[in-house]
Structure 1
């Protein structure tokens, strides 16, 4: 058996990801590199073996009538063209994102970069990203340099979380003191009462004249 074929058997490739084809092919090609596999036919037949039946049926003609050369590039191009998003679809998804949701900013940035594919993020990309953020994060990121978009998304989210944690630590003792302060049942406020009866009502044992308090 050819050494390349033996290496192909040892490849551990995840199940076929029809909704993340670029990532899936990227992982497959990393495996080919690690196993020193470069034979066109080996890569072609390895990918074919991983397709589910519905996907294989869509590329049936190429499987049964493969090219003499460049089998693997032709299969990859056909699969990406058949199941991948078109440029118009990717642009539409970028323009109609539904906010941050329960994701972190870095997860949203990864999704947006995946939709942009090989296009370098421009000022419109930056603005789309900012508009998905809560207002407090938008203010933090407004003047930031987006030369490294992933770093921007990660750094400021961590900063926000740290600031929130610090503020909660400062506020907690104050809340605790309020919760354990003496509680007094006050009677209805009357501007003709003295300070002590206005403050303590029936609990007061000290009165300052003039005072019209008529309690027990």
Structure 2
């Protein structure tokens, strides 16, 4: 017993702990062979579990399993192994008649397979599913790459715009302003005024023909200003050159007198 490897000793631990009264070594060897050797039924079951239906009809697949099995495999186990290898759609349909005999189930399975089209191998279904998943992953990867490229381009454009120097509207060339100013001075309003009178009105000191500002009025140039030569330096007159009438400008003097003789009769 001491020469028995540990992995085998574990299998017959119960016999080692409570050995029989006689032939204990023979008992240990027999139990090891029995416990470590798979039964013929187990070997056959493992063989049948690795068999796929392929392109066979359900009834053909059943006969193939029956040929591989021997009398040690009960019909109930063969039924379970056979139905477990059928396509899922046929398995679901057979649940209605699952209590029928195995041969009858095979006939029903053939009818269902004929109605639903040719059977595809299970491995083919798995391969097709894997292919579709791979194609979907490829499309997602391509879409993600395209989106990342668009984002990178957009960021580059924004960075280029931000790096440009800002343009000041007032920093245009002086020649442009000069041309604009010279052109604007030649413009006339809708009422026929020159640019100076249109811009400054009565405060204008210049005029450019044609201009209708003085039409029907006194000539602007006929109004002049002159300083009074009297001792008081704070009085200022405006003389109308046409009538030679003087008008006193209120400059803050204490007294402002307008001669009665200069007042026209009412």
Answer yes or no: same fold by TM over 0.5. Answer: no
> Quick one: higher RCO (CA 8 Å, sep 6+), 1 or 2?
1
Q: Which has the higher strand share?
A: 2
Which structure is larger by alpha-carbon Rg, 1 or 2? 2
Q: Which has the higher helix share?
A: 1
